[in-house]
A and B are shown apart, each in its own frame.
Chain A
Amino acid sequence: MADDAGRLYGKPEVRIDGAAKVTGQARYASDEPVANPAYAYLVTSAISRGHITGMDLAAAEAVPGLLDILTHETVGKEAKPPVGPDQKPTTTTLETTQVWHDGQIIAVVVADSFEAAREAAHRVVVHYAPETPSATFDSPGAEAEVRKTDEQHKDPAKGDAPAAFAAAPVKIDARYETPTQHHNPLELFTTTCVWDGPKLTIYEPTQTMYGLKAAVAKQLGMEPADVRTISRYVGGAFGSKGAATSRTVWIAIAARRLKRAVKLVPTRDQAFTIATYRAETRHHLQLAANRDGKLQALIHEGWEVTSRPSSYNVSGTETTARMYACPNIATKVNVVHADRNTPGFMRAPPDTPYMFALESGMDELAHELGMDPIELRRINDTQTDPVDGKPFSSRSLMKCFDAAAAKFGWAKRDPKPGAMRDGDWLVGYGCATSCYPSNIGPAAARLSLTPRGKAVIQLAGHEIGTGAYTTVAITVAGGLGLKVTDIQVFMGDSNLPPVPVAGGSNNAASTAHVAAKACEEIRQKLALAAVQNNAGIFAGADPSKLRLTDGALAGPDGRREPLETAVGRVAGGALEVHVENVPEGLPPDAAAGLYQGKMAMSRGTGRKDVTAYAFGAQFVEVRIHALTREIRTPRIVSAFASGTIVNPLTAYSQYMGGAIWGVSSALHEATEIDLREARYVNDNLADYLVPVNADIDHLDVIFVPEEDSRVNPLGIKGIGEIGIVGMNAAVANAVFHATGKRIRKLPIRIEHLL
């Protein structure tokens, strides 16, 4: 009766870690107490291409309290080069004298106090042999290549798109651009390393406990068993903590050299260059339709920036090709190498930039056709994947549009651009489709149940704000027939059984399924023992009919045996199980791989049986001052259908946060690059703008009910990323509606509307 795990789903449940978070007791990595730490401060490069020819360390070494300075010369050979987020070669740091990008770590200063380390770092003088760098697209020296197809990336195609495009009566042909963006989780990229003999403990915020452990072990030539990662609470991640980065091994080496704990709390500006980011993208989109609105051709070509050694790319054409019924599709992706740090996952990595292009294009097409943009989506809605003909596991896109449109008051919209006004403010309504593939990975967990009806579940999960502790507790409470408050959840420690990276919105699905499986295993053990016990009330009964409910083992006829008896029968104290769950479609060794930090994933687009996506519709009202052109978003309405909702309270927060990210991306966020020097300039939270409280007013999230028995047994699709995906285009479409100006380059700012 695995279904019991979902018994408590759909009821709002406050976070079980809520009290810890509001009292300051929740321990983020840099809050973990360690004995007598030394403090590290990073020295980062001031050029973005060239070599380091030498360093003057005398002034730094003279700072009282200085303990050590790690440079290429002192420690460069002590670690193997890192890999990028795609597990392929990436930029290096102290391993060589080469500078690949601005802000690259080139030395680590360690001192008795934070103040001394910072001062000494500022006193390090670096000599460079600089070369002229390439900053981005169009920079001299930037190298473009067509991204080849491989296991990770395909180029969806069908029919003869160019011919269909040429022949169609209505078309749009447009180019779009999205900027460089940095995650800027509020928590900094801290690392604390402590050695105990040969064993290393790393306190570092991460979305991949086992991935980090494996990466550090490999770089340091250690047994993974000797590396432990601890990250009980993560202060925001959004993908930025989804892969190991260069800093960790150097802090480990610093601690080893000093035989003392070393703690690094880097600065905010270093966060722009020592971790990853969302690279800028360009798009050429061609859409063609018949006069009735039926799509005839979709051609989407993308360009993405990456570093010199890496070919990391996101290739969101996988998604845009699948959105609408269309007989002719052609896609292509190019990567452009520049002197930059390697990009990485950032909230809905492929979908956010690529859907901006597609959903702006759909709005342009609707305008061209003189058709309501929602109707254009309705005409082209489909229940089968247009690329390979597989059914969608479920697709409630138009239900989302209808629910959100009703709540938003779309009917009040005067379709003519520039026609709506409120006093000095121009008013515009815009909408767009949102989506995110449904992914699930293998996972392991240890679950124990005491005779008194208390359960403890342990798994190396990640609480990055999603409410992961609570999701697991709700599942276990359902599965074991207990109250949520009876469940204790331990996560954030690589000594616990592994789960996949908390990315790709797989977290809830992966951990819920393993928790459900663990509960089922406990139920089976108890049921089997109960029916085999001749003295018990269930002697000879069908074990599959016995359920755990309300703190007892219960039969279909209503007879109940207290847990005390049921558990006491099979175990001296608590009954403990250790389970692994491998979702359908993944190889059986996927679980074993987890322990090595290998993350097999059943992806929404790569499955044999179905294509699995969550869908949504996002609406926004923009107001633009008639004279000074500030752009404000007083109302945001989103509706999503993501299958089973485990905890509507935290799911709402996830969707809401995603929608706010979308507004932020559309109107605020952009990392400004000095084109001459290929350096980030606005690398702080006063100049890299994200919304403040005053920017967000009315915001609604609608849960469109959806049952999906095909996506996975519990019907869980992801919710963490879908919230951002449609928002960029929704805002741009609303700006067009307000002003008649089509802005195809993000973020949209005052100067574009003057």
Chain B
Amino acid sequence: MELTLNINGRDHRLSLDPRTTLLDALRDHLGLTGSKKGCDQGQCGACTVHVDGRRILACLTLAAAVQGRPVATVEGLAHGDKLHPMQAAFVEHDAFQCGYCTPGQLMSAVACVHEGHAHDRAAIREHMSGNLCRCGAYPKIVDAIEDAAPKMERG
């Protein structure tokens, strides 16, 4: 089917099998491989992106179902060479190892702050629990979010 996806502020016209998930559309059809596939069944969070400003899982979302709605991916976080405060905090705190969960963690972390769920470590831990990190970077992810949250509010 023919459809238009709005990704990081840009419209993309695509011709897709109706079965195509948003994740596969991003990765295989648009070359936006920042969003990752870790399970393809909603169990890991590696594919987390924002639709209408809310974090969702791209692997369980049909591309067809997000036509006309703004989608934001990790590729859209930085402003040119300037990292988003959350990205900078992840680097600074070494909040990852292999980095495979990281795009999903970042999109979740930014949403976590916007949702108002980043007020203390316990809340951050709970509200970041939809993103598995097999490398076990969790404590540093929490450090990074605690550090970036006030900077996001200022910036």
- Residues on A lying within 8 angstroms of B by beta carbon are 14-15, 17-28, 30-31, 33, 39, 113-116, 119, 183-188, 233-238, 265, 267-268, 463-467, 649-650, 652-654, 656-661, 664, 684-686, 690-697, 699
Question: Are the CB atoms of B94 and A652 closer together than 8 Å?
Answer: yes
Given A186-B44, A685-B44, decide whether A691 and B136 contact each other with a Cβ distance below 8 A. yes
A186 and B139 contact, CB distance less than 8 A: no
Does the CB pair A693–B41 fall under 8 Å?
A: no
> A21-B102, A23-B75 known; A660 and B138 CB under 8 Å?
yes
- Name B34's contact: one of A23, A33, A657, A661 (CB within 8 Å): A23
Interface residues in chain B, defined as those with a beta carbon under 8 Å from any beta carbon in chain A: 17, 19-20, 24, 27-28, 31-41, 43-44, 46, 73-75, 77-78, 83, 87-88, 90-92, 94, 96-103, 106, 121, 124-126, 128-142
Determine the residue in chain B with the shortest Cβ distance to A112. Answer: B17
Alpha-carbon separation in the docked complex, A74 to B89 (Å): 53
Cβ-defined contact, A653 with B140, below 8 A: yes
A27 touches B78 (CB 8 A): no
Give the chain B neighbours of A664 by CB distance below 8 A: 136
Cβ-closest chain A residue relative to B140: A653
CB distance from B36 to the nearest CB of A (A): 7
Q: List 10 A-B contacts (CB under 8 A).
A: A18-B91, A18-B94, A19-B83, A22-B102, A24-B32, A185-B100, A465-B97, A465-B99, A649-B94, A693-B133
Q: Is the CB of A33 within 8 A of B98?
A: no
Residues of A within 8 A of B136 (CB): 656-661, 664, 691, 696
What is the CA–CA distance of A238 and B100 in the complex, to the nearest angstrom? 14
Kindly state the separation between the CA atoms of A499 and B34 in the bound complex, as whole angstroms: 28
Provide the bound-state CA to CA distance between A30 and B137, in Å: 23
Contact indicator B91/A15 (Cβ below 8 Å): yes
Contact A22 B91 (CB under 8 A): yes
Interface centre among B39, B99, B101, B140 (most CB of A within 10 A): B99
- The answer to whether A236 and B128 touch across the interface, beta carbons within 8 angstroms, is no
Distance (whole angstroms) from the CB of B104 to the closest CB of chain A: 9
Tell me if B125 and A697 are in contact (CB < 8 A): yes
Asked if residues B94 and A14 are in contact (CB atoms below 8 Å), the reply is: yes
Query: Which residue, A14, A39, A116, has most C-beta atoms of chain B within 10 A?
Result: A14
CA distance A708 to B19 in the complex (A): 58
Of the listed residues B32, B83, B100, the one surrounded by the most CB atoms of chain A closer than 10 A to its CB is B100
Residues of B within 8 A of A268 (CB): 38-41, 43
By the criterion CB–CB under 8 Å, are A22 and B83 in contact?
yes
Q: With A22-B83, A22-B90 given, name 4 new contacts (CB 8 A).
A: A20-B99, A21-B91, A31-B27, A693-B131
Contacts of A186 in B (CB 8 A): 36, 38, 44, 46, 98, 100-101, 132-135
| Candidates B90, B100, B121; contact of A28 at CB < 8 Å | B100
**Residue of B28, B34, B91, B136 with most partner-chain A CB within 10 A:** B136
Q: Given known contacts A15-B91, A115-B17, A115-B19, is B36 in contact with A21 (CB within 8 Å)?
A: no
How far is A692 from B98 in the complex, measured between Cα atoms in Å? 17
Which residues of chain A are within 8 angstroms of B126 by Cβ–Cβ distance? 693-694
B97 with A184: CB separation less than 8 A: no
**What residues of chain B lie closer than 8 Å to A661, measured between beta carbons?**
136
Measured CA separation A656–B37 after assembly (Å):
25
Bound CA span A602–B78, Å: 45
Q: Which 3 A-B pairs have the closest CB atoms?
A: A24-B34, A235-B100, A660-B136
Partner of B100, one of A39, A187, A657: A187
Contact B41 A21 (CB under 8 A): no
Give A23 to B102 CA distance when docked, in angstroms: 9
Chain B residue at minimum C-beta to C-beta distance from A267: B40
Q: How far is the CB of A218 from chain B (nearest CB, A)?
A: 28
The residues of A that contact B31 with a CB separation of less than 8 Å are 33
Cβ B20 vs Cβ A656 within 8 A: no
Q: B98 and A464: CB pair below 8 A?
A: yes
Contact A686–B98 (Cβ < 8 Å): no
Report the Cα distance A463→B140, complex, angstroms. 19
In the complex, residue of chain A having the shortest beta-carbon distance to the beta carbon of B38:
A186
Query: Taking the nearest CB of chain B, how far is it from the CB of A332, in angstroms?
Result: 34
Whole-angstrom distance between the Cβ of B115 and the nearest chain A Cβ: 15
B134 touches A26 (CB 8 A): no
Residue of chain B at shortest CB distance from A25: B34
**Contact, CB under 8 Å: B40 / A184:** no
Which residues of A have CB within 8 Å of B33?
24, 27-28, 30-31
CB-nearest residue of chain B relative to A654? B97
Cβ B94 vs Cβ A653 within 8 A: yes
Determine if A236 and B35 form an interchain contact, defined as CB atoms under 8 angstroms apart: no
A residues in contact with B75, CB < 8 Å? 23-24
Determine whether the beta carbon of A24 is less than 8 Å from that of B40: no
Contacts A22-B91, A236-B134; is A467 near B97 (CB within 8 Å)?
A: yes
Q: Are A23 and B36 in contact (CB under 8 A)?
A: no
Inside 8 A of B38's CB, which chain A residues have their CB?
186-188, 235, 268, 685
- Closest chain-A Cβ to B151's Cβ sits at a distance in Å of 15
Whole-angstrom distance from the CB of A693 to the nearest CB of chain B?
A: 4
CB distance from B60 to the nearest CB of A (A): 13
Tell me how far the C-beta of B7 lies from the nearest C-beta in chain A, rounded to whole angstroms: 12
Contact of A236 among B19, B24, B98 (CB under 8 A): B98
Contact residues in A for B92 (Cβ distance below 8 Å): 14
Question: B134 touches which one: A39, A184, A463 (CB < 8 A)?
Answer: A184
Q: B123 CB to closest chain A CB, in angstroms?
A: 10
Which residue of chain A is the closest to B43 with respect to CB atoms? A685
A residues near B125, Cβ cutoff 8 Å: 693-694, 696-697
Q: A19-B91, A26-B99 are in contact. Are A185 and B43 (CB under 8 A)?
A: no
Chain A residues whose C-beta falls within 8 Å of the C-beta of B121 in the assembled complex? 697
Which one of B20, B129, B132, B137 lies within 8 Å of A115 (CB-CB)? B20
Nearest A residue to B108 via CB reads A693
In chain A, what residue has the closest Cβ to B24?
A114
In whole Å, how far is A345's beta carbon from the nearest beta carbon of chain B?
Answer: 16
Shortest beta-carbon distance from B5 to chain A in Å: 17
Chain A positions within 8 Å of B100 at CB level: 28, 185-187, 233, 235-236
Bound CA span A17–B106, Å: 16
With a cutoff of 8 Å between Cβ atoms, the chain A residues found around residue B90 in the complex are 18, 22
